[in-house]
Each structure stands twice: as C-alpha cells, then as structure tokens.
Amino acid sequence: MAELKLTFDASAFDQASKALQRQLPYAGAQALNTVAFRIRGEARAVMGRVFVNPTRLTLNSVLVDKATKRTGIARVYIRDQATKGTAPSKYLAPAVFGSSRNEKRFERALRYAGLLPAGMYVVPGEGARLNRHGNITAGTYSKILSQVRASSDSMQNATGSRRSKAKRGITKGYFVGKIEGTWGVWQRVGYKRRRSVRPILIFVNKKPNYRKRFPFFKVAEGIAQRHLLPELGKAMDRALASARRR
C-alpha cells in the first residue's frame, strides 16, 4: 500500500513566532504614534474649517504623548494649560461637547464690582469691535473693566443731575447702564450735540450655549478605525526586516 507521510517542522514557526512576539510591542508603539499624529493633523485641519480665523494657540492646542513599547499607549488631548488667559481645553469644551459655556473672568469681575446682576451673562453687542478671530480683545476687556469700575465708583456720591446724565449715556468712555430697556456696557461716541452711545456688551438672562462644532472624538475614532491596523502591519514588516538584518 502506497503511503505518504506528511510531517510538520514547528521549529521554524516557533522561531518566527518568537520574533513576532519580540517585535510586536515596538511595532505597536510605532503604529500608535503614526495614528496619533495623523489625528492631530486632521483635528487641526477641522479647526481651520469650523472656527473663524482660529488663533495659533487654538490650532496648536492638540497635543500628543507618544507611546513606547513599554506603555503601549499614545495619548491625544487638548492642551489644559496656558501661560496667559484661558486654557484651550476649557474654552474649546463647549464646541466639543455642545454644552453651555463657562463663566468668563470678565463676567466674574463685573459681578464682583456689583455691575453684573446674578444670573446674567455678557454677549457682544452690535457696536463691539472684534478682532480677526471674532473676539473682543483682552486689552479691550481690561479697558472696559477699568472705566466701568471708575464710573461706578464716581457715581456713588454723584448729584442727581450727574446720575441722570449717566443713565442717558453722557459719560466718558465705557459705562454700565440701561438704555431703551437693555442692560449692558455702552460706549459714548461723538462730541457735543452729536453725542450718542453704542452697545458694546449686552447683559442677557440666558446662559449662552454652544452647539457641537468641533467633532474631536469623531475625528479621532474614525482615523483610528481606518488606519491603526494597516499601520500596525507596516510597522511589523519594518520591525521584522530590521531584525533579520541584525
């Protein structure tokens, strides 16, 4: 009876398997880092589309902590610190999660000065001058706060005539007042008989809300699903080729 015996030499497979096991943590870290930096680049591109002239701080706010073969974790996150002003993680949170915005430092300062009633918030008025990023500058906020505080202090001992003039907007610079039923920060413009006021900041009862505009997690998850396995395969090929050359 003719007989054919088939044998399998597992030693070569065992060696290859051991090589795979040795190289997998390194290849995994390389693949994770490639995908993490791809996420950062796409997140920055999305910011440029959904925000009006985003600042450099905003565009550079997505950071990467690289994976190593020991940790096996790459972290992509929004910067939670800033040398000046509010950290990007805080002011971008409403655009990411679609929540109501946090109270601004300017609002807290107005409340502390007794100029912004409890439960009211500040939004830009029609007369506000915005920078190319669509915001009122920090310098303007500082100037407003300085002048409205001084105006408020000077009115404490003012005569009835001066108080009446303040209500009608006849004061220098910025002031807090109610004009035609609207509370806010106003600016006196014009001279002599051509005096008028324009609304710089309006006080509103409803806390301002932001819709989801920056789909940070959706972008990250989509890129990870599409690219992680292919990048792992590429990294593994490179790692094995490098190991064979040694």
**Does a structural domain hold residue 233?**
yes
- Given a cut of 50, whether residue 170 has pLDDT beyond it is no
189 and 214 in one domain?
no
117 and 24 in one domain?
no
> Which H or E run contains 85?
none
Q: How far is CA 228 from each of CA 20, 27, 30, 39, 73, rounded to the nearest angstrom?
A: 18, 11, 10, 11, 13
- Given a cut of 70, whether residue 125 has pLDDT beyond it is yes
Q: How confident is the model at residue 172 (pLDDT cuts 50, 70, 90)?
A: low
DSSP state of 163: H
Instruction: Please tell me the predicted confidence (pLDDT) of residue 32.
Output: 93
69 and 35 in one domain?
yes
199 and 214 in one domain?
no
190 and 112 in one domain?
yes
Instruction: Please tell me the predicted confidence (pLDDT) of residue 202.
Output: 92
In this structure, are residues 107 and 121 in contact, taking their beta carbons and an 8 Å threshold? Answer: yes
Q: How confident is the model at residue 192 (pLDDT cuts 50, 70, 90)?
A: low
Residue type, 42: E
**Does a structural domain hold residue 120?**
yes
In this structure, are residues 113 and 151 in contact, taking their beta carbons and an 8 Å threshold? Answer: no
**Does a structural domain hold residue 166?**
yes
Query: Which tokens hold the place of 169?
Result: 């907007």
The residue-averaged pLDDT of 2-29 equals 62
**Does a structural domain hold residue 3?**
no
Q: How far is CA 86 from each of CA 61, 82, 115, 195, rounded to the nearest angstrom?
A: 12, 6, 23, 36
d(CA 168, CA 218): 51
196-223 tens-digit pLDDT: 888 999 999 888 777 888 999 999 999 9
65-124 tens-digit pLDDT: 999 988 999 999 999 988 877 889 988 988 898 877 778 888 888 988 889 988 899 988
The residue-averaged pLDDT of 33-59 equals 93
151 and 57 in one domain?
no
- Given a cut of 70, whether residue 20 has pLDDT beyond it is no
Find the domain containing 21 and state its range.
15-92+210-245
**Does a structural domain hold residue 97?**
no
67 and 128 in one domain?
no
145 and 73 in one domain?
no
Query: Which tokens hold the place of 108?
Result: 């807290």
Measured CA angle at 104 (ends 149, 53), to 5 deg: 115
What percent of the chain stands above pLDDT 70?
79
Instruction: Please tell me the predicted confidence (pLDDT) of residue 171.
Output: 47
**Does a structural domain hold residue 157?**
yes
196 and 107 in one domain?
yes
Instruction: Please tell me the predicted confidence (pLDDT) of residue 91.
Output: 86
**Does a structural domain hold residue 5?**
no
Number of neighbours of residue 64 by Cβ within 10 angstroms? 16
pLDDT: which is higher, 136 or 170: 136
146 and 189 in one domain?
yes
30 and 58 in one domain?
yes
In this structure, are residues 80 and 69 in contact, taking their beta carbons and an 8 Å threshold? Answer: no
d(CA 186, CA 197): 6
Overall number of domains in the chain: 2
Per DSSP, the three-state class of 122 is strand
d(CA 231, CA 223): 11
**Does a structural domain hold residue 7?**
no
58 and 107 in one domain?
no
Q: Which residue has the tokens 């004061």?
A: 171
- Given a cut of 60, whether residue 51 has pLDDT beyond it is yes
- Given a cut of 90, whether residue 59 has pLDDT beyond it is yes
Instruction: Please tell me the predicted confidence (pLDDT) of residue 17.
Output: 60
